Structures are given as C-alpha cells and as structure tokens.
Amino acid sequence: MSGAGRTLVVLLEDHPGALTRVTSLFRRRNFNIDSLAVGHSERPGISRMSVVVAGDASEVDQVVKQLHKLIEVVEVRDVSDGAPLLREMALIRVRADSTKRGEVTELAKLFGARVVDISHNTLTLEITGAEHKVESLVKLLSKFGIEEMVRSGRIAMARDSAGASVGMDEALSA
Amino acid sequence: MTITVEKSADTRKEQDAVPRRLTGSRIVCEALIEEGVREMWGYPGGAIMPFYDALKEYPELHHVLVRHEQAAAHAADGFARATGRVGVCVATSGPGATNLVTGLATAYMDSVPVVAITGQVARPGIGRDSFQETDIVGVTMPITKHNFLVSSAAELGPIVHEAFRIARSGRPGPVLVDVPKDVQNELAEYTPPAERAPSSPRAERPTRDTYERAARLISSAHRPLIIAGHGVIISGAYDELRAFAEHTGIPVITTLLGISCFPESHPLSLGMPGMHGPAHVNRAIDQADLIVGVGMRFDDRVTGDLRYWAPNARIVHMDIDPAEIGKNVPTAVGIVADAKEGLARLTAACEPGDHDEWLRGIRAGMRPEREVPTGDRFSPAEVLAAIKRTTDGRAKLVTDVGQHQMWAARFYGYDRPNSHISSGGLGTMGYALPAAMGVKAGCPGDPVWVVAGDGGIQMNIQELGTIAQEGYDIKVAILNNGYLGMVRQWQEFFHNRNYAETRISSPDYSLLCRAFGLEGRKVEHRADVEAAVEWAMSRKGAVVLDFTIEQEANVYPMVPAGGTVAGMIEEPEAER
C-alpha cells in the first residue's frame, strides 16, 4: 500500500523561486523523481510538497540531505514507513458514446469514481485513491480510448497513530 | 568635501536613537558596515549607480575598482579564504552580474563565504527584457548557497544581514543579493539587528556514542590514515588536528585544499593524495584499513575510480555538511561536526596510540621529489624553493590552475597555517592574480606570491591595472613553458602527443608591466632565480617574474582520471 519509491514530505517557505530551487536541485544532482505535488499546507506561508523518489536508500538519503541544505526548506520527512496515507487524484476523459456509456459508468462505480462531465462522445471521470487503483482504472478504460488525462501525482500524509487507523483506511479505500 | 563627509557621519550618529529612514543604497552600506565589512571589490554600472552614489558617504567602506567583474568575485573569495571573514563583491545588472558567475561558482565549489551585491533593473522593468536585464537569481541558483531578489527597501537590511549569516554559517558559501535600482532609491527604516542571529545547525549534533564508535574503529586499526581537507582550515582546527594526529599516532594526508592545515615538516605528514599525489601517499591509501576523513569530500581527483579506492579501509568521515557523509563513499561512522569541535571530542574519546611501523613502511616508499635538472636549466621546484627561502616561509602562495598548481602543491613545503590558496573544486584558470588582491587586502603584513602558468595569468592579466592603481604589493611568479601545460601533458599521455591548441604565446611581461607602471623581469638561467626573487621582494609594489621553464615538463606521478593506483604513471617514458 506504500506504493513504489520512497515518499518524502517537504515543507518549504512559500516564496517565489522556492519551488524552482527544489526542482533545480533535483535536475542538477540527477535525482530520480517519480512525482512531485505541491500546494498549501495548514501553516500560512508554508507550502507542502509530496515527492516520490525512485532509487536506492543512499540516493534517497542524498535527496533528503540536499533538500535540507536549501535555505527555504523548513522540514523534510521520509514518511514511507508506517503505512502512510498516499493518494492520487485523476481526471480521465474517455471516449464513450451512448453504446459504451453504461459500461464505462459501471466501471466508474466499481472504482468509486465520479462522472464529472458528459458529452455525446465522452465521459469525464474523477477518481481519488491509491496510485495502483488509479492505475487499474486507467488500464481498464484504455480499451475505450482515453482522450485526455491529468493526474495530480502522489500526495502523502503520515498517520497520526499508525496502529489504530490502519484498519479504518483499508476499509475506506477498499 | 571633507565637511560634507563629517557632517553626514554626525547626522548618522544623532539619528541612531530612532529608526532612521534611509535609501535602500544607504541601508546596504550601513548593513555592510554593521557586518564588519571594510573592503569590497566591484565595478559600477547603470543599475547599481544609486549604491555607488551612497558609497561615497561612507569613507570607512573601501571599494576597489577592478577591471573585470570576475576579478571582483575572485578577490572577495581570496579575502575570505585568507581571513575567514566574508568577502564582498559588487556588480551592476546584466553583463556585470553574469561576469561574476565564474567567481561565484569557484567560491561555491570550495565553500568560500562571499556576498555578492548586484544591481537589477527597476522593478517595473523586470521581466520585460529591459536594457541590461538578466535573471541573475535564476542564473546563480545552482552556484550559490542561497540568493535573494529584494522586492522592497524595507526588507533590504534584514536580507543583507541574512546573506552574511548564510554565507558564513555551517558549510560556508557564496550568497547573491540582487537589488533593483528603484529599491536602492526607495526610503525605508533601518535598524541594525540587536544581536547577530546564531546560525542554527540543522543536523543533530553527534552523540558521545558516535565518537566512541569512531574511537573504537581507530584503536582497532593497524594501518590508519587521516585525510584532512579544507574544512580544517575553514574551522581553524590546526591545533586540534595536530593534537588528534599526535595523540593517536596516525599519519596525515592533506588534500589540495587541505594543504597548510598541517605542517608538512611534521613527521606524521605524508603529503597530497590523488591524481598528482606522490606515489607513497596513494599506495598508503591502497593499503590502509581505516581512513579518517576530516573536512573533505572524497572528490574524484582524490579517489579516482571509487570502486577500487582504499579497498581495505573502513571510513570515519567528519564533515560539517551532513550531505557529504555517504555521498561518495560508504561510511562506517559519520560525524556531522565542525572540525574544531569534532576533532577535540574525537581526540578525547581515543586512546593514545602509535603506528610507527606503519609510518616507517610508508616513509620508506617516499622518493625525493623530482630531480633538479642539471646545468643551466631550472625546475619549478627551484623557483618555489627560492620563494620559500627568500620569504622565510612567511608567504601566502596563491596558485592558479594547471601544472604549476601541482608543483606548488608538492614542492613548497607548507608549514604555516592557511599559507596555500588555490581554486580546487572548480579549477578556475585566471583565479590567482585577482584572488591575490583579496589575500593581500586581508593579510597586508604577509608577503603574497602568485604562482601561475603562462596560460592562466593571461586570463585575468587586466588586473595588473587594478594592482597598479591600488598599489597592491603582490609578487607574481609565472612558470612559463609556452604551453597550456596540463592539457598538453594529457595530450602527450592520452592523445598521441597531438598538441591541439595548447601552444600559447606570451607578451613580453616586463614590457607589459612597464605599460601598467609596474616592474617585471624575465628569468632564464638558474643562476638568476634566487637573485630575481630577492630583487622582487626588495621592490615596493607589484613585481612580475617570468620564469622560462622546460617546455615539456610533466607532473609525475599521475593517476589518470577515473583510474586506480595500479594504473599510476610514475616516471617519464624514458625512465619507465
């Protein structure tokens, strides 16, 4: 359930250029980044980034240490251990005329995806879940023809108390 | 004029009680003074003119007009390396700022605290491809420790102080502050910081347990080595390193930038490792069972092919930058610490020891450095020896990049702390002459000698103008072989002596010196070497000595790039 790669949570000051500094570091040091999602955090002036790093333990260690050296980075946490909450959101526009519409909506229902837009020839689905779930839906939808897709990249949060909430999450995301 | 200056000084004092409204330019000047800055190197231009206008009101700030902004960055860097204080350089926007780039990259690679102040086009012009607009914050992002584009005069004071704090804290590095022209003119309140914010170390300090684990490895090692680097000099941990080495009896190797952190006349001193280190040093590393790296980063010029480097050694690595631990070599114990404190604690944790047999074995493999050529020819080693004799070893040597740099690293015998200054990480040709201006400004009492090749000296030769105008007492020794010698050597070894574009002519340096109002001499005969150096020392002001050395002299031994000790080229072909 933890997904491939290590998941880092990075808190950084919300300055112009701070994000560039982080991405420039990844490029310059040739770090292997699978996904990066950024937005506001609960703290004003602090952005929160979820980064998925491919590569072995020593590479991940370097990513963490190099991120720490950036002045605007406030905190870096590797949340991969302890069954973190990992989610991705996707909007998928799939080809579906009236003959296919039923099949596609059925699939969407099974995955807990919502239909958010509909036209004569397409349906647009919104799905949120673990990446493998999004991945499976995409695979199943591909036979209909995917016209357009956007994925948020992995966002992550460590559990507050790992023991108690694991079951809850499993139940919710099943 | 004098009256104006005094009056403005008085006014400044009177106003100290209440926060004063000042222009951005004056805020920069006051903040610089507050940070203890007295010297800076720079070049005016459109977008930085308000700053220069204000500068004239602060006679305590001495500004040196360079001939090219690159030199300003190198001079600030030389000042910082020589004194441990932050060096300051100033440039205008666009080409002025981009000319700083090589100097900032040099400082970044070698962890040198420099603050660069650049003018930027006025805020409304930013992003419009205005005249002399360059996104210098974007350009220098990967080669500065941090940088700032200042968006209002109100934040200027805090940013300048923050820039200094960042530059000198932890692992030092260059910081650039880009100030739009209208921000320089804008009024804002400036209050000097009540106290200097302490630099907050982000990494947890090593525990007693860490030191004890390192101490256990050290006491159980049979063939241990210390490799000491620039961090020892930056930290000023000369005594601590010596105490640690003497207490444990471990021989000391010094990296190129570590040179002069440990006296080379000390019985435990072995010399420099790596590509052009003497053979016995690299062989010792090959045999070592423990390496204690202090304030160094296992650079590729030190290690060659990492898979085969120090194959039998466990590594204890002490560095102030946590990211260096485990970056290049797997580490048995990593100690994130400033060398001064870390070495003192490590020494306390270690039992006294000696490794006489191991040391004797290594020293038995030592060979006298290259033979002195006979007859009338002279070797670079003789030039260096003459400089050392004539200055009683009190000189600071500022070297450029190439063969002469390796000769100067190997043949001089550095005993005084921080007496060797060179561009190591970036390997910037043209560094030495401008850097020496900063070294001289920082250490006016020490003789300062530039040792450069005929290629590198011509890269920033225009700075003879600055040296002349400023009256810097800098002596220059050019080791002139008519080639870009190090590249030529590689061509000889690895490219079938195809000397493509490495033949280089030189001007008549004595004549050139005269044109700048300086003195110079060409030295072609062994008998004249010592006398020329003595003559240079006897002259007031800058002197350039142009030493004609053998054209195809090589630096031996050499471990080819990415190579191993087994592939070391020890001797010229004829002798092999």
Contact by Cβ (8 Å): B157, B27: yes
The residue of chain B nearest to residue A29, with distances taken between CA atoms, is: B142
Confidence of residue B510 (pLDDT cuts 50, 70, 90): very high
CA distance B147 to chain A (A): 9
Q: What amino acid positions of B are annotated as catalytic residues?
A: 69, 131-132, 181, 486
User: With an 8 Å Cβ cutoff, is B141 touching chain A?
Assistant: yes
Confidence of residue B512 (pLDDT cuts 50, 70, 90): very high
pLDDT for A167 beyond 50: no
DSSP-assigned letter for residue B122: -
pLDDT tens digits, residue range B441-466?
999 999 999 999 999 999 999 999 99
How many CB pairs below 8 Å do chains A and B form together?
33
Q: Give the mutation candidate from A28, A69, A72 for the B interface (greatest B CB count, under 10 A).
A: A69
Largest distance between two CA atoms of chain A: 57
Q: What is the DSSP string of B475-500?
A: EEEEEE-SB-HHHHHHHHHHSTT--T
pLDDT tens digits, residue range B103-132?
999 999 999 999 999 999 999 999 999 999
For A58-72, B109-123, B371-385, B408-422, which range has the lowest pLDDT when averaged over its residues?
B371-385
pLDDT for A172 beyond 70: no
Among residues 99-118 of chain A, which lie with CB inside 8 Å of chain B?
A: none
CA distance B239 to chain A (A): 29
Region at B544 (left for phi over 0; alpha for psi -120 to 50; beta for the rest): beta
User: With an 8 Å Cβ cutoff, is A120 touching chain B?
Assistant: no
User: With an 8 Å Cβ cutoff, is B301 touching chain A?
Assistant: no
Give residue B30's identity as a one-letter amino acid code: E
Q: Quote the pLDDT of residue B199.
A: 52
B513-522 contacts at long range (C-beta below 8 A, 24 or more positions apart): B513/B464, B513/B542, B513/B543, B513/B544, B516/B464, B516/B465, B516/B467, B516/B468, B517/B468, B518/B464, B518/B467, B518/B468, B518/B542, B518/B543, B518/B544, B519/B543, B519/B544, B520/B544, B520/B545, B520/B546, B521/B545, B521/B546, B522/B546, B522/B548
pLDDT for B256 beyond 80: yes
Q: Give the mutation candidate from A56, A58, A61, A65 for the B interface (greatest B CB count, under 10 A).
A: A65
Q: Quote the pLDDT of residue B44.
A: 98
Q: What average pLDDT score do residues B81-99 get?
A: 98
User: With an 8 Å Cβ cutoff, is B139 touching chain A?
Assistant: no
* pLDDT cut 70: percent of chain B above it: 94
DSSP-assigned letter for residue B573: G
User: With an 8 Å Cβ cutoff, is A61 touching chain B?
Assistant: yes
Beta carbons of A68 and B149 less than 8 Å apart: no
All domains in chain A, ordered by first residue: 6-78 (3.30.70.260), 85-156 (3.30.70.1150)
Mean predicted lDDT score pLDDT of chain B: 93
Domain range summary for chain B, segments of one domain joined by +: 2-190, 208-364, 380-549
The yes-or-no answer to whether B2-190 and B208-364 have a common fold is yes
B2-190: what CATH class?
alpha beta
The residue of chain A nearest to residue B165, with distances taken between CA atoms, is: A71
Q: Quote the pLDDT of residue B205.
A: 84
The residue of chain A nearest to residue B163, with distances taken between CA atoms, is: A71
pLDDT for A142 beyond 50: yes
pLDDT for A13 beyond 50: yes
Beta carbons of A28 and B142 less than 8 Å apart: yes
Mean predicted lDDT score pLDDT of chain A: 90
Instruction: Select the residue of B138, B141, B326 nearest A61 (Cβ to Cβ).
Output: B326
The residue of chain B nearest to residue A16, with distances taken between CA atoms, is: B149
pLDDT tens digits, residue range B422-440?
999 999 999 999 999 999 9
Encoding tokens for residue B84? 């441990």
Q: What average pLDDT score do residues B392-403 get?
A: 97
Q: Quote the pLDDT of residue B480.
A: 97
Give residue A35's identity as a one-letter amino acid code: S
**Does the domain made of B208-364 have the CATH classification 3.40.50.1220?**
yes
User: With an 8 Å Cβ cutoff, is A24 touching chain B?
Assistant: yes
Beta carbons of A69 and B321 less than 8 Å apart: yes
The residue of chain A nearest to residue B144, with distances taken between CA atoms, is: A70
pLDDT tens digits, residue range B276-325?
999 999 999 999 999 999 999 999 999 999 999 999 999 999 999 999 99
Q: Give the mutation candidate from B202, B204, B297, B325 for the A interface (greatest A CB count, under 10 A).
A: B202
pLDDT tens digits, residue range B533-545?
999 999 999 999 9
CA distance B440 to chain A (A): 32
Pairing of strands A122-129, A114-118: antiparallel
Confidence of residue B4 (pLDDT cuts 50, 70, 90): very low
Beta carbons of A69 and B323 less than 8 Å apart: yes
| Cα–Cα distance for residue pair B404/B480, rounded to 1 Å | 9
Q: Could you tell me the CATH superfamily of domain B380-549?
A: Thiamin diphosphate (ThDP)-binding fold, Pyr/PP domains (3.40.50.970)
Beta carbons of B137 and A21 less than 8 Å apart: no
User: With an 8 Å Cβ cutoff, is A143 touching chain B?
Assistant: no
Instruction: Write the ipTM.
Output: 0.85
Instruction: Give B451's strand partners.
Output: B399, B477
**Does residue B557 have a cis bond before it (omega within 30 degrees)?**
yes
